[in-house]
Amino acid sequence: MALKNISALLISMLLTLVAAPIWAQESKPTIRHHRVEETAPEDPNVVLLDQAETAMQHEDFATAETALQKVITAKPDDYRAWFDLGYVYNATKRPADAINAYRKSVAAKPEVFESNLNLGLLLAKQGDSAEAQKYLKAATQLKPSAKPEEGLAHAWQALGRVEQAPDPQAALVAYGEAAKLKPEDPEPHLAAAALLEHQSNYDSAAHEYQSALALDPNSVGALTGLVNALVAQKKYPDAESAIRKALVAASQNTAAHVQLARVLEAEGKSDEAAKELQSGMQANPNDARAAIEMGNIYAKAGKDVEAEQQFRIAVQKMPNSAEAHDALGALLMHEKKFEESQKELIAAISLKPDMGDAYGNLAIVAAANKNYTLTLRALDDRAKYVPETQGTYFLRATTFDNLKDVPKAVEYYQKFLAVDDGKFPDQEWQARHRLIALDPKHADKYRIKVQK
């Protein structure tokens, strides 16, 4: 059976078979299977290969694997059989075996696009970016068996993802190639924009986000990214214009209302911002994102009751949102509702363990609750993500003081005084007097010298 005779149903099935996500910001990569080339008719293994591929079409992977094992036993260098086995292993969640099979397929015939692509995708999924880069780069120089533009665009996009960390410029080139091959797809523009934004190249990032938004006016990611890039440059009128344009096309776009509210708030137009959020919430009453933004506006305006109500709505609607729990926890801390605040902040950190500010707030409320062990643990965890400050030194000092750990209390009161430089005079007064009490032998050096 020649390649051109493959049934349309098989091609359709194989082109839409999706592997697990490799990168959070990219649409799910496709593990493609094609009958890349038929074995010569006189080859006795052709019947077994056809049987295997027919079984694969019906997702009868056990039958397919049995037939393919017979082929490679008889012909260990049959690249088509190894390719099919790689597909079967991947479909049955045996990635190590799939990688090994694809390696053998590539070794037997290096110029097959699909073998290189699938091997690169699986290696990337397993975290082996350097090896993945090798095979994905090879794939970009080969010709797919079907839908060449789509296949090559997919390969360039995947190559860009693995090149982002070691070679950002090469990644941008790869995304550009993907965009040229598939000009109707916003994904390469989104990926390039996110990378440029990470590099603080906000102007170029905004251009890429605008390109993505032109292709998909309803893309929340493109709109959010564009606004972030423009706001980072303090180009508030441009950001406002872009969002209002999106709202003309889709007035019920809740995300656009939320983004516009953010920009208006940044411009100091709090009342207008609140109106936009209300419009967004009317369009979609279940939008917890809008509730968080509304809560932030109320909190800035000193309307704690209203802010708390919005944050509680967000937590109720998004119980797995670290941001929602953190926002509620911080407000409850401000309201001196320390017990409730501690619970919310712990929930936030358990969902997103790298939230440095949340650890700082947790340390404060734990100290207010006299849970000094938790205070120190929260401060230690905070220090893994953000530097120590005058405030954290002082909180450590008072915590050790309460625990009667005099050497540690003295150490951190001293550290606080060494870096504060008059920024917190009340705390400096307290630190000096505690040092005089805790370290009386050196009391004179803690007293402020009064000039005669």
Residues 51 and 89 occupy one common structural domain: yes
**Using a CB cutoff of 8 Å and minimum separation of 24, what contacts does 354-360 make?**
354/385, 355/322, 355/326, 355/385, 356/382, 356/385, 356/386, 357/326, 357/386, 358/322, 358/326, 358/329, 358/330, 359/385, 360/386, 360/391, 360/392
Q: Which of the 8 DSSP states describes residue 403?
A: T
Q: Answer yes or no: is 66 within a domain.
A: yes
What does residue 18 show for φ and ψ, rounded to 5 degrees? -110, 135
Residues 369 and 421 occupy one common structural domain: no
Q: Answer yes or no: is 8 within a domain.
A: yes
Closest Cα to residue 328, out of 367, 356, 368, 288?
288
| pLDDT given at position 218 | 79
Q: Containing domain of residue 427, as a range? A: 390-452
| pLDDT given at position 7 | 33
| pLDDT given at position 265 | 82
68 touches 84 (CB < 8 A): yes
User: How far out from the chain centre does Cα 268 lie?
Assistant: 30
Q: How many helices (H) and strands (E) are present in the chain, helices listed first?
A: 25, 0
Q: Which residues contact 249 (CB under 8 A, 6 or more apart)?
A: 217, 218
Q: Answer yes or no: is 309 within a domain.
A: no
Name the token pair of 99. 């990688």
| pLDDT given at position 291 | 83
Q: Answer yes or no: is 445 within a domain.
A: yes
353 touches 340 (CB < 8 A): no
158 touches 22 (CB < 8 A): yes
| pLDDT given at position 19 | 33
Count of C-beta atoms within a 10 Å radius of residue 263: 25
Name the token pair of 370. 């006299």
| pLDDT given at position 219 | 85
* Helices 187-198 & 220-232 angle (0-180, nearest 10): 30
Residues 373 and 356 occupy one common structural domain: yes
Count of C-beta atoms within a 10 Å radius of residue 20: 11
- The residue from 170, 185, 200 where one domain ends is 185
Name the token pair of 381. 């965890």
Closest Cα to residue 61, out of 90, 30, 36?
90
Count of C-beta atoms within a 10 Å radius of residue 301: 13
Q: Which of the 8 DSSP states describes residue 21?
A: P
Q: Answer yes or no: is 302 within a domain.
A: no
Name the token pair of 260. 């516009």
Rounded to whole angstroms, how far apart are CA atoms 114 and 144?
A: 7
| pLDDT given at position 15 | 34
**Strand, helix or coil at 244?**
helix
Q: How far from 141 is each of 117, 156, 162, 321, CA to CA, in Å?
A: 11, 10, 17, 43
- Please count the structural domains in the chain: 3
Q: Answer yes or no: is 11 within a domain.
A: yes
What does residue 30 show for φ and ψ, rounded to 5 degrees? -105, 125
| pLDDT given at position 437 | 94
- How do the pLDDT tens digits run along the chain, 452 residues long? 333 333 333 333 333 333 322 323 333 334 445 555 555 455 678 899 999 999 999 999 999 999 999 999 999 999 999 999 999 999 999 999 999 999 999 999 999 999 999 999 999 999 898 999 999 999 999 999 989 999 999 999 999 999 998 999 999 999 999 999 999 999 999 999 999 999 999 999 999 999 998 999 878 789 889 988 998 999 999 888 888 877 776 666 677 777 788 888 888 888 888 887 777 666 666 667 778 888 888 888 788 998 999 899 999 999 999 999 999 999 999 999 999 999 999 999 999 998 989 999 999 999 999 999 999 999 999 999 889 999 999 999 999 999 999 999 999 999 999 998 889 999 999 999 999 999 998 888 888 764 54
Q: Answer yes or no: is 320 within a domain.
A: no
Q: How far from 143 is each of 31, 110, 151, 252, CA to CA, in Å?
A: 16, 12, 8, 43
**Strand, helix or coil at 450?**
coil
Q: Answer yes or no: is 63 within a domain.
A: yes
Residues 354 and 445 occupy one common structural domain: no
Residues 362 and 444 occupy one common structural domain: no
